[in-house]
Structure 1
Amino acid sequence: MFKDIVLAVTPSSICENAAEKAFSFASRFESKLYLLHVCGMEQGWGAMEHLETSGVVDRIRENMKEYYKERLCKMPNCEVIVVAGISHNEILRVARKKNADLIIMGPHTKEHAEKRSKMWGMAGSTLERVSQRARCPVMIVTRETPGDGDFKNIVAATDLSEQAGCAVAYAGQLARHYKAGLTILNVLESSKIYPSDIRDQIEKTRTRLQGEYGARLEGLKDCSFECAVGDPPMEILDVAQKKKADLVIMAHHSKETDPEKAFLGSTVTKVALNCGCPTMSVNRHFDLRCGMMYDQTGQVVEATSTA
């Protein structure tokens, strides 16, 4: 399912959970795995202008190979890449060059890990910028994910926009592959609804979800449509916990047209950094080829990556 995976990683325990998921996927799907580390101003490896000429990049590459040597010896189809630059730019560049169909990332730095429980979103972070601009899905793994690596319960959050439909379609594809349960969730903001209308709006939204996505999800054994009322990140996290989800899929900034405003603490980032399971982001760049996944009758069609 995943042929080329880019694992954007810092060789430390901070990214251990993301690394575990990436190696697991690569082994399961016999994927080509690219271990990528970007050394530069944000990563504490030295000033960018001195990295290439001083041989620091080569030393870090050897450190990467040493750190992951036990896993690398079991993974012959793996390449270690170390480059100097700005993190999000280089991650996106390598993903495009390698035609990746999945990017996996962790919290990336010790500072992010320490602040995760205190911060409600991280505006302008590497996670934000990569998940917003990548041409393939981005999986963010910040915590240990026990189990055999399969997805048994998937939650796909949608705001019923055209772009969010791609995230739902991709969730359906994964649910079929893993034979997983799938919950399609829409969150209504309580500030925009009169209290007396809440029950009526919930029922109308469930009906709309079924009408919007029912045909393309037809045939899934365990698929439900749910609506919650409240703050979107909080409600998504709550439903994911109740459903014992092992994956949450979302469209990144599906309604935000201004890319700068999109950095101001997105729902995707808020959920990803506080969720007990991996979060997968699908953005508008991936939406452009999403229609290839399903035909008009809801049948699965092989999608061709153009990342």
Structure 2
Amino acid sequence: MFKDIIVGVTPSGVDKCAVMAAAEFARKFEAKLYLTHVAGMAQGWGSMEHLEPSGETERIKSQIEEMYSDLLSGIAEYQINVIPGIPHAEILRLARKKNTDLIVMGPHTKEYEEKRSKMWGMAGSTLERVSQKARCPVMIVHKDVACKDPLFENILVATDFSDQAECAVNYGGQMARQYKANLTVMHVVEPGVSAGDVEARLANEYGPRLDGVPGCSFGVCSGQPPMEILRMAQQKRADLIIMAHHSKEMDPEKAFLGSTVVQVALNGACPTMSVNRHFDLRCGLMYDQAGQVVQTEATV
């Protein structure tokens, strides 16, 4: 299912829950795992090109290896990368280079984790930009994931009927079939909109392609999207939420901060997966909105 997985890490250890989830996937699917820390100018070591000669990259690699050694036990192939640069740009570049089929990320900073209840979705730009621009699915994990079999039993997909949301629904259907999980597809409407009409639209648009998915159902809620998605996830006991990243926001600067997907991801009880392109679990191919295969760099 997953062959190459990137997980973003920091020397602080705040991303431990994300590493746990990524390591579990790597063991289960015999995938190669890339633990990746990007050291930017904020690290205080001056010019980024001098980071490696200074010995800091090797020091951080050793620190990360020691911190996560227990979690990496039993993984046949893993690699620790410490890369100088801009975090979101380097993670996305590595994902293209390795043709990864999953990126796993945590809350990124302790400061955000401590204040998330007051700062709805005000995460750093790394998490926002990676989840918005990645060519493969991005899983955001901020709590420990229960290692059970099957890994996912109740999957919730939130849609706003956009093109990107189509990708999320299709991916949700693939995941539900893979894990034989229950699947709920939901939409949040504004007050005054007929819930019955919208539920009928959900069934008409998505029903045929989800035919054969066990326990497939549709739901409509009224209110603020993040709150209603979280409420539905709790109601359905979801162990995975799948969404498209800020799929109706045209202004990229607004999309980088406070998006619905990040608000849900950092306040939910289960992992949230951001999917913006069609992705085939069976062959690991990514597609654009026109159905064309996305070309990725093949260099190693």
| 2:214 aligned residue | 221
Q: Distance in 2 between matches of 1:54 and 1:303?
A: 38
Q: Distance in 2 between matches of 1:169 and 1:304?
A: 14
| 2:159 aligned residue | 158
Aligned length: 286
| 2:87 aligned residue | 87
Q: Does 1:40 align with 2:40?
A: yes
Q: Distance in 2 between matches of 1:211 and 1:155?
A: 18
- Quote the offset at 1:263 in angstroms: 1.7
| 1:145 aligned residue | 145
| 1:296 aligned residue | none
How high is the sequence identity, in percent, across the aligned residues? 56
| 1:297 aligned residue | none
Q: Distance in 2 between matches of 1:146 and 1:64?
A: 23
SS in structure 2 opposite 1:177? helix
- Quote the offset at 1:248 in angstroms: 0.4
CA contact (8 A) 1:26 1:32 kept: yes
Greater CA deviation, 148-157 or 134-143?
148-157
CA contact (8 A) 1:39 1:82 kept: yes
| 1:188 aligned residue | 189
Q: Distance in 2 between matches of 1:37 and 1:186?
A: 36
| 1:304 aligned residue | 285
| 1:279 aligned residue | 272
CA contact (8 A) 2:241 2:272 kept: yes
Rate the CA distance shift 1:265–1:126 in 2: closer, same or farther, 3 A.
same
Rate the CA distance shift 1:127–1:243 in 2: closer, same or farther, 3 A.
same
CA contact (8 A) 2:13 2:67 kept: no
Q: Distance in 2 between matches of 1:301 and 1:111?
A: 39
Equivalent runs, 1:52-131 vs 2, <5 Å? 52-122=52-122, 125-131=125-131
SS in structure 2 opposite 1:120? coil
Q: Distance in 2 between matches of 1:189 and 1:53?
A: 56
Q: Distance in 2 between matches of 1:47 and 1:107?
A: 26
| 1:202 aligned residue | 195
- Quote the offset at 1:45 in angstroms: 6.5
- Quote the offset at 1:125 in angstroms: 2.0
SS in structure 1 opposite 2:209? coil
- Cα deviation, 1:271-307, whole Å, max 9, x if unaligned, reads 0110110000012xx24xx5xx4xxxxxx97451445
CA contact (8 A) 1:123 1:265 kept: yes
Greater CA deviation, 264-273 or 67-76?
67-76
- Quote the offset at 1:127 in angstroms: 0.7
Greater CA deviation, 110-119 or 18-27?
110-119
| 1:264 aligned residue | 257
Residue identity in the other structure for 1:249:
I
Greater CA deviation, 72-81 or 102-111?
72-81
Residue identity in the other structure for 2:216:
C
- Quote the offset at 1:255 in angstroms: 1.4
- Quote the offset at 1:13 in angstroms: 3.5
Residue identity in the other structure for 2:285:
T
- Quote the offset at 1:161 in angstroms: 1.4
Alignment TM-score, normalising by the size of structure 2 = 0.90
- Quote the offset at 1:69 in angstroms: 2.2
SS in structure 2 opposite 1:130? helix
